[in-house]
Structure 1
């Protein structure tokens, strides 16, 4: 029986990609108006985000250092002058990024489940940073925000992340349902530890892995759960 539901945050409750794309485009445009490769900035930033956050997850760089590396690498790639103060440069981007912290329109629907399940978040971002996001999108009271930096340094998709999250909640993995948009981090990897999972497919861009349920909006989750007694 499912006793708790954990949600991914970025791409599930908050449109991180839209916020980050708009922020880095504005940041580059501010440093180099009319830059001929401005349209490439979001894709470059995404690749750098994934690469350098992974280095933080592996313990190869601090939270702040991975940010510095991302700014430096972006400037090198776009042939921009590298800022003398990388921390200030990232903070400038961060101010723009925070302006885009809004929930997906369907995110508030998950609060309907609070009477039947314990709710919370399982995320790969820094804990303080992700808590700030939850406050900004109006879901701070949802439940615990669990992240790798408070789960023994275990980040999705490492098995220890899901097992430690279950232990933090005082539950068995099979008593927890994880809902998220990332097929590996939020669907197949948790399932390998016994945790249940549902794929939130906002884009419909990939086939559904066999044996895994899919929803296309969070508003469908309460109805899905009520119609599947094995999850109740």
Structure 2
């Protein structure tokens, strides 16, 4: 059951998550890392596992950077090193260059979800923004690449929110303030239950879970949609 028909009155602004919500990060990252391993270790016997392994490493290593334990570049080196160790692939002599190779393959796959542009357009008149845990320059580049720059409002990451990343309450209150609104006037829509759905509740911000696969039960008390096409009717 989706959230269509469940009214959300009093919403004056909408914050979108980026990766997995407006932008197909998983599809791009999966294709890029499989291509990278194929190029560096042709015919690897575990190639079918590579995308899942890379995805599993992503959260923990990004968390190290977000917590200030290492630089963004260092977490990339550590993640690539961990993948090579797991696959018994020789570690590249220059991890920065190796990651740059992956990153270029990743950029070549950048695309918006088919429902993103229309969903943004249908929210004309509301304050809009993007609240994402990625690196500021990278996330801004993604928004430009998928044609939403100037349409979806400011791109807000922990780097411009005082070091506060989702699910820190300060990330949500800071993002609402960037839209000139109180948290309770803002709706956050995203695909990550902890960061985008339950996390904002502590600040009074409302949220909608975007469950594109439509196979899981929504967290209690939170509406769910399976497409961004359902978002505008929910608010209007």
- Please classify the TM superposition score into its range, dividing by the shorter chain length: over 0.9
CA distance in 1, matches of 2:231, 2:176: 21
Deviation at 1:107, TM superposition (A): 0.5
Partner of 1:93: 102
Q: For residues 91-134 of structure 1, what are the alpha-carbon distances to aligned partners after superposition, in whole Å with 9 as ceiling and x for unaligned?
A: 00011111111000000112323432011100000011000000
Q: Superposition pairs for residues 130-149 of structure 1, below 5 Å?
A: 130-141=139-150, 142-149=152-159
Q: Which runs of 5+ in 2 are unaligned?
A: 1-9
2:208 to 195, 198, 201: 198
CA distance in 1, matches of 2:215, 2:107: 27
Is 1:83 the counterpart of 2:92? The answer is: yes
CA distance in 2, matches of 1:61, 1:169: 30
Q: For residues 154-201 of structure 1, what are the alpha-carbon distances to aligned partners after superposition, in whole Å with 9 as ceiling and x for unaligned?
A: 111111111121222222100111000111111111012100111111
Structure number with higher relative contact order (C-alpha < 8 Å, ≥ 6 residues apart): 2
Partner of 2:5: none
Mean alpha-carbon deviation: is it higher for 38-47 or for 161-170? 161-170
Q: Which runs of 5+ in 1 are unaligned?
A: 227-232
CA distance in 2, matches of 1:121, 1:177: 11
Is 1:162 the counterpart of 2:166? The answer is: no
Is 1:152 the counterpart of 2:162? The answer is: yes
Larger proportion of helix: 1
Partner of 2:4: none
CA distance in 1, matches of 2:26, 2:76: 17
CA distance in 2, matches of 1:115, 1:216: 21
Structure 1: 4+ residue segments shifted above 3 A: none
Classify the secondary structure of the residue corresponding to 2:159.
Answer: helix
Is 1:6 the counterpart of 2:11? The answer is: no
CA distance in 2, matches of 1:205, 1:158: 27
Is 1:110 the counterpart of 2:119? The answer is: yes
Contact 1:112 1:222 in 2 (8 A): no
Classify the secondary structure of the residue corresponding to 2:122.
Answer: helix
Partner of 2:82: 73
Aligned residues: 226
Classify the secondary structure of the residue corresponding to 2:90.
Answer: coil
Contact 1:25 1:38 in 2 (8 A): yes
Provide TM-score, normalisation by structure 2: 0.93
Q: For residues 8-36 of structure 1, what are the alpha-carbon distances to aligned partners after superposition, in whole Å with 9 as ceiling and x for unaligned?
A: 00000011111101100000000011000
1:126 to 113, 120, 135: 135
Classify the secondary structure of the residue corresponding to 1:5.
Answer: strand
Contact 2:11 2:235 in 1 (8 A): no
